[in-house]
Structures are given as C-alpha cells and as structure tokens.
Amino acid sequence: HVDTNKKRGVLIVIEGLDRSGKSTQAGALAARLAQSNVPAKLIKFPDRTTPIGKMIDAYLRSQSDLDDRAIHLLFSANRWELATSIERTLSEGTTIICDRYAFSGVVYSVSKGLPFSWCKSPDIGLPAPDLALFLDVSPEKARERGGYGEERYEKEEMQKRVRELFRKFVVREEDAEQRGDASKDDVTWVQIDAGRSLEDVKESIWREVQRVLEDAPRRPLRRLWV
C-alpha cells in the first residue's frame, strides 16, 4: 500500500550574482524551515567535495585551465552526479534548498560567448525546481558590500553580463507564462531585490516559499527543459 498522503519535498533554487547574499539567505531559509518543522536540506552547486567538484574548484581558483565547453560540462556533470540523491530526498518528503543550479550554469557560460541552447542541453532532464528565486543586486551594491573575491568570474565586467542574462532568463519565462506559451520552461521565477536589508530579503523569500510549500507537493516533480 502506497501512502498517497505523504507529501513530497519541494525543490527551491536560489540564484544570483556573487555577493548577492545567496548563501546567507539559503542558510537562513533552511533554519526557518527547520523551526517550522518542515524537513529541509541545504545543498549547493558547485559541490566542490566530489572528484568533479575538485576539478571545478581548481579551475575557479585559476589553478588549472580548461576549455570553456569542458568546464561547462563539468559543472553539469556535478549536478548529474547528485541528481539521484536529490530525487530520493524529495520523494522522502524533504525539501531541498539549492544554492545555484543549472541557470548559473547557463548564464555564466553564455557570458563567455557560448550559445544559449548549447549551454542548456547537458542539463535537460535534471529535476526541475518548483521555485527559482533570483536575488538581484546591482554592481554598485556588490561593491559596497566589499566587492568581489579572487575567483575566476568575480570581475565586475563578467558580473554585469551575468546579471543581464539572469534578468533575461526571468523575463523570458514571465513572458511565456503570460502568453500561455506551451514551450514555457515550467519554472516559476521570482525576482527578489537583494539590495535591501537582510531582514527584508528574508521576509520576501519566506512569503514565496510558504506559497510553494502549499502548492508544489500536489504536483509531480518535473524535469528541466524537456
């Protein structure tokens, strides 16, 4: 007898620029879910602990050089190596908060000049998020917060391109939704102004999360970009 009342977990992705407060907010959200007795797990991509993750880490710290396509595929492989465990966790009823996902994969590589559809293809079929939050912050705000770090993409020019591409991603989905376009990705995007105080950003995120916790478990988990 299958327990049809058991609710699946919800997949929540948090995307944004370096310095947008993503990791802080992801951590705060995990804590809040725990307080509310919602089983939740926090994961992040790249997961630098696996063998593939270690290659990515070396690349980001400029300890190795790789062709743009090769590193793109490694980032994707790093998600695929965890895909089964993500699905299992969700089906056991645990919600997942994921700090970066395939959308980072696409926008960072497109910023380097790779074609959009080529960049999406290796991630086709991954578990699709029920909610994708884009934490938007201006380069000025990022600078106020102490600027970027030392890693490969943490340069203002790159961050500006990445920001524009993230916003396009979100807008494209919203447009498709309004047109009732069947080719829509089925990913619900919410853009959050992450230039505000930590508390305000936390509250905005919590509102969206409460909504998705109500709705998403009734639907089956979807696949990304199929």
* Residue ranges in contact with Mg ion by CB under 5 A: 18
Instruction: Please give the size of the binding site for ligand TMP, defined by CB under 6 A.
Output: 10
- Closer by beta carbon to ligand TMP, 119 or else 131: 119
Residue 194 DSSP SS3: coil
- Closer by beta carbon to Mg ion, 18 or else 173: 18
Residue 172 DSSP SS3: helix
Closest distance to ligand TMP from the beta carbon of 81 (Å): 13
Continuous segment of H or E residues that includes residue 60: helix 51-60
Q: What are phi and psi of 190, to 5 degrees?
A: -130, 125
Closest Cα partner for 19 from 154, 118, 157?
Answer: 154
7: left (phi over 0), alpha (psi -120 to 50) or beta: beta
* Interface pick for ligand TMP out of 9, 105, 129, 195 (rule CB under 6 A): 105
**Touching ligand TMP, residues 182-221 (CB under 6 A):** none
Quick check: 15 binds ligand TMP (CB under 6 A)?
A: no
Closest distance to ligand TMP from the beta carbon of 170 (Å): 17
Site string for ligand TMP, 52-91 (x = CB under 6 A): --------x--------------x----------------
Q: Which residue is at the shortest CB distance from Mg ion?
A: 18
149: left (phi over 0), alpha (psi -120 to 50) or beta: beta
* DSSP assignment of 67-136: -HHHHHHHHHHHHHHHHHHHHHHHHTT-EEEEES-HHHHHHHHHHTT--HHHHHGGGTTSBPPSEEEEEE
Q: Which does 153 bind (CB under 5 to 8 A by kind): Mg ion, ligand TMP, none?
A: ligand TMP
Closest distance to Mg ion from the beta carbon of 223 (Å): 28
Closest distance to ligand TMP from the beta carbon of 76 (Å): 7
Closest distance to ligand TMP from the beta carbon of 45 (Å): 4
Contacts of 182 (CB under 8 A, 6+ apart): none
User: Which residue type occupies 88?
Assistant: R
- Closer by beta carbon to ligand TMP, 95 or else 104: 104
Q: How many CA atoms lie within 13 A of 128 on its CB side?
A: 19
Quick check: 18 binds ligand TMP (CB under 6 A)?
A: yes
- Closer by beta carbon to Mg ion, 18 or else 185: 18
Quick check: 19 binds ligand TMP (CB under 6 A)?
A: no
Q: Buried (b) or exposed (e) across 147-165, using 16+ Cβ within 10 A?
A: ebeeeebbeeebbebbbeb
Residues that bind ligand TMP (CB under 6 A): 18, 45-46, 60, 75, 100, 104-105, 108, 153
